Amino acid sequence: MTLSLQGTGVSNGVAIGPVHILQRDSLEILEYALGEEFIEAEVTRFQRALALVKEQLRFVRNKIPSHTQSDITAFIDTHLLMLDDSTLSKVPISIILERRCNAEWALKTQRDALVKVFDEMNDPYLRTRRDDIDHVVTSIQRELLSSPMYHHVNHIQEQRFSGHVIVADDLSPADTVLMQHQGIAAFITESGGPTSHTAILARSLNIPAIVGLHHARHMLIDFETIIVDGQQGVVLAKPESNMVQHYQSKKRENQQLIERHKQSRDIPAVTKDGKKIALRANIELIEDVIAMKALGANGVGLFRTEYLFMNRETSPPEQEQFETYCQVLDELDGQVLTIRTLDLGADKQVDGGRHDLNNITNPALGLRAIRLCLQDPDIFLPQLRAILRASAHGSIRIMLPMISNAQEVIQIRQQIASVCQQLAREGIAYDPNIQIGGMVEVPAAAVNACMLCEYLDFLSIGTNDLIQYTLAIDRIDDEVNYLYDPLNPAVLTLIANVINAGNKANIPVAMCGEMAGDAMFTRLLLAMGLKEFSMHPNALAEVKEVILNSDVTRLQPKAEALLNCTSHNQFQDLLDQFSHH
Ligand code: PEP
Ligand code: MG
């Protein structure tokens, strides 16, 4: 009988494929090919992991009370001896050098070879030594995996996830990117919400995805074929053949819809009453620029630069960042590129554990985004220099995330000014009139938008965080997903306040949170006076369709009535009018 499971659909599309369950406790070891220049660093990484495991074992050994059975000490001593033995300390290094692969894979190769020898032994005692090998190898693997080497990746050799539906308790944005390279068909996670960064990334990578499906790993079976409907949030296990046919045709329809939308790419987004609307793209990876160009966006409204910092141990150096920004500019052929300065922290953790956020009770309320950058000039200043240098080569705007007061903007402006002076002294070109905008994501910034306008050249409303903070719901906590409501009157009041503040100060106001890319809200936002929308490229065509069919002049009085409404029922009635207009 078919088993139907319901989660939260966060990225549209249908997938039909075998399940691959990721258990956090069992280590997933993949093979990566390394460039010549990374081999030495990889050997050092292996040696460091080995040294750390030895240190831990010695520490444990010293903690064993002297009256304890000597067996336990002997057990640890055996492991220490194994760590010194060339079969584990030297052979994996030769494998790294010969195969030019990652340390995890080299160690796994050697482990498999050793285990095979033990398995063939007749002596039951010696066969138990196999478990010791596994214990020691697992400890080293854990150390290695906690200091990932993904930045060495040239390409992923093993395509073991290709066509599979990944089922996990949670996936980090970094995992999601890596898996997309492996051609996964869809993913399902037990936790997470619709505006978590992993969900946003799934949409931008075009991977059907469902989050918040509790106990998925227990209810689904490895390798069984399932159907995933990323729009409805439905998973069907053991589907009947007519269901498979139904979803296959749905998959084809989706494909046709995408093709149809591509055809509208060159039509400008102008409302029926002649208002020109800017439709920009949110990008995370350089590949997104290609997608957005194919879909006809007017430049980039949000470049989430933190993805340049993911899957690597150290921050990308200034020159590398500069080259990336220039590369994006090249692709944009003169269209605007809005670069958001680093928004690390909360559910976007990178940087090789440099900022250990695990011990923070409320990471979303902690040292993240602009707060973290202001505290850590080693991360921030190279990025500012890279952006400013790139600004000499095209149209760039700087956008600051998570602003909560004017003082922060003043401080950043001072830092930007001093970087500019430094560049001028060095004879390096930059755009002296570069626009500096702020994201309105903290309710305080929305309420006080008019005062922030004094120091900013444009505003962009980040509804993902603004809704999280206004409604006090953690965007990655699936237990409170149901409270996520962009149409909550308090949220709409804040958005209206920001748009009005921008209009009064005569500075542009954009929206770049997920709300801007949901065609359900387009009419209302137009009526509220929004003229610039930035979204994941896949949403552009649908939003454009609504814009082409909307008459803003007629809608405006309804928006005014909605925002002045004091009765819940009346509010709902007025909202309905926007969807049926
Ligand atoms: C937002 O908060 O709405 C936003 C666009 O930023 P991010 O999703 O990257 O936090
Ligand atoms: Mg945000």
**Ligand that comes closest to the CA of residue 194:** 1
Q: DSSP characters for 467-480?
A: HHHHTT--TT-GGG
AA identity, residue 145: L
CB 174 within 8 A of CB 350: yes
Q: Is 435 in the pocket of ligand 1 (CB under 6 A)?
A: no
The helix (run of H) or strand (run of E) holding residue 384 is helix 377-390
Domain with CATH 3.50.30.10 in the chain: 3-24+150-242
Structure tokens at 449: 């938008």
Q: Is 465 in the pocket of ligand 1 (CB under 6 A)?
A: yes
- What is the maximum span of the chain, computed from C-alpha positions, in angstroms? 88
Q: Strand ranges (DSSP E) for 112-171?
A: 153-156, 165-168
Give the distance (Å) from ligand 2 centre to CA of residue 290: 24
The string over 142-169, giving b where at least 16 C-beta atoms fall within 10 Å of a residue's C-beta and e elsewhere, is ebbeeebbbebbeebeeeebeebbbbbb
CB 79 within 8 A of CB 53: no
Average pLDDT, consecutive stretches of 10 residues, N- to C-terminus, the chain (581 residues): 90 91 71 86 91 82 61 74 91 94 92 86 69 82 66 43 86 67 86 79 85 91 93 92 91 79 84 96 85 86 90 85 95 95 75 53 86 91 97 97 97 97 97 98 98 97 97 88 93 98 97 95 97 92 92 96 95 86 44
CA 174 to chain centre: 7
Non-local (6+) Cβ contacts of 174 within 8 A are 148, 150, 310, 311, 350
Q: Is 304 in the pocket of ligand 1 (CB under 6 A)?
A: yes
Packed helices 519-527 and 540-548: angle between N→C axes, nearest 10 degrees: 50
Query: Which runs of consecutive H residues, i.e. helices, occur in 192-304?
Result: 197-205, 216-219, 241-263, 286-294
Closest among 281, 287, 298 to 334, alpha carbons compared: 298
Give the distance (Å) from ligand 1 centre to CA of residue 464: 5
Q: Is 343 in the pocket of ligand 1 (CB under 6 A)?
A: yes
pLDDT in tens, 458-508: 999 999 999 999 999 988 888 888 899 999 999 999 999 999 999 999 999
Neighbours of ion ligand 2 (CB under 5 A): 441, 462, 465
Q: Give pLDDT, residue 477.
A: 84
Q: Is 36-144 a domain of CATH 1.10.3210.10?
A: no
DSSP state of 340: E
pTM, to two decimals: 0.70
Distance CA 99, CA 485 (A): 52
The helix (run of H) or strand (run of E) holding residue 32 is strand 32-34
Q: Whose CA is nearest to atom 4 of ligand 1?
A: 462
Q: Give pLDDT, residue 71.
A: 58
Ligand 1 atom at minimal distance to the Cα of residue 461 = 3
Distance CA 438, CA 447 (A): 14
Active site residues: 197, 512
Give the distance (Å) from ligand 1 centre to CA of residue 581: 29
CB 177 within 8 A of CB 307: yes
Give the distance (Å) from ligand 1 centre to CA of residue 125: 57
Q: Is 260-553 a domain of CATH 3.20.20.60?
A: yes
To test the pocket of ligand 1, the residue of 512, 521, 532, 536 to mutate (highest count of ligand atoms within 8 Å of its CB) is: 512
> Exposed (0-12), middle (13-18) or buried (19+): which is 223, by Cβ within 10 Å?
exposed
Looking up tokens 């970094």 gives 174
Q: Give pLDDT, residue 216.
A: 92
Structure tokens at 273: 């009453």
Residue 303's SS3 state is: strand
Q: Give pLDDT, residue 15.
A: 94
Distance CA 556, CA 581 (A): 12
Give the distance (Å) from ligand 1 centre to CA of residue 570: 31
Residue 337's SS3 state is: strand
Non-local (6+) Cβ contacts of 392 within 8 A are 428, 429, 430, 431
Q: Is 464 in the pocket of ligand 1 (CB under 6 A)?
A: yes
Structure tokens at 287: 């590949």
Closest among 140, 167, 272 to 226, alpha carbons compared: 167
To test the pocket of ligand 1, the residue of 441, 459, 469 to mutate (highest count of ligand atoms within 8 Å of its CB) is: 441
Structure tokens at 371: 């707060």
Q: Give pLDDT, residue 12.
A: 86
Non-local (6+) Cβ contacts of 388 within 8 A are 416, 419, 420, 423, 430, 431, 434
Ligand 1 atom at minimal distance to the Cα of residue 514 = 3
Non-local (6+) Cβ contacts of 405 within 8 A are 444, 445, 448
Ligand 1 atom at minimal distance to the Cα of residue 462 = 3
Looking up tokens 């020109």 gives 276
Average pLDDT, the chain: 87
Question: In Å, what is the CA distance from 131 to each residue of 27, 50, 69, 79, 122?
Answer: 16, 18, 20, 11, 15
Domain with CATH 1.10.274.10 in the chain: 36-144
Q: Is 462 in the pocket of ligand 1 (CB under 6 A)?
A: yes
Distance CA 518, CA 370 (A): 27
Ligand 1 atom at minimal distance to the Cα of residue 464 = 3
Q: Whose CA is nearest to atom 6 of ligand 1?
A: 462
Domain with CATH 3.20.20.60 in the chain: 260-553
Closest among 458, 438, 580 to 520, alpha carbons compared: 580
Q: Give pLDDT, residue 541.
A: 87
Q: Whose CA is nearest to atom 8 of ligand 1?
A: 464
Question: In Å, what is the CA distance from 466 to each residue of 263, 388, 402, 427, 489?
Answer: 34, 28, 9, 41, 13
Structure tokens at 2: 């078919």
**Ligand that comes closest to the CA of residue 402:** 2
Ligand 1 atom at minimal distance to the Cα of residue 441 = 2
| Through-space distance between the first and last CA atoms of the chain, rounded to whole angstroms | 43
DSSP state of 18: E
Structure tokens at 456: 């900013």
Distance CA 556, CA 514 (A): 22
Phi-psi domain of 320 (left: phi exceeds 0; alpha: psi -120 through 50; beta: other): alpha
Ligand 1 atom at minimal distance to the Cα of residue 302 = 5
Q: Whose CA is nearest to atom 7 of ligand 1?
A: 464
- Angle subtended at Cα 344 by Cα 338 and Cα 349, rounded to the nearest 5 degrees: 135
pLDDT in tens, 348-399: 665 444 555 556 778 888 888 899 899 999 999 999 999 999 999 999 999 9
Q: Whose CA is nearest to atom 3 of ligand 1?
A: 462
Alpha-carbon Rg for the chain, nearest whole angstrom, is: 27
Query: Which runs of consecutive H residues, i.e. helices, occur in 432-567?
Result: 443-447, 449-452, 463-470, 489-505, 519-527, 540-548, 552-564
To test the pocket of ligand 1, the residue of 339, 464, 475, 530 to mutate (highest count of ligand atoms within 8 Å of its CB) is: 464
Q: Is 463 in the pocket of ligand 1 (CB under 6 A)?
A: yes
**Ligand that comes closest to the CA of residue 470:** 1
Superfamily of domain 3-24+150-242: Phosphohistidine domain (3.50.30.10)
CB 329 within 8 A of CB 393: yes
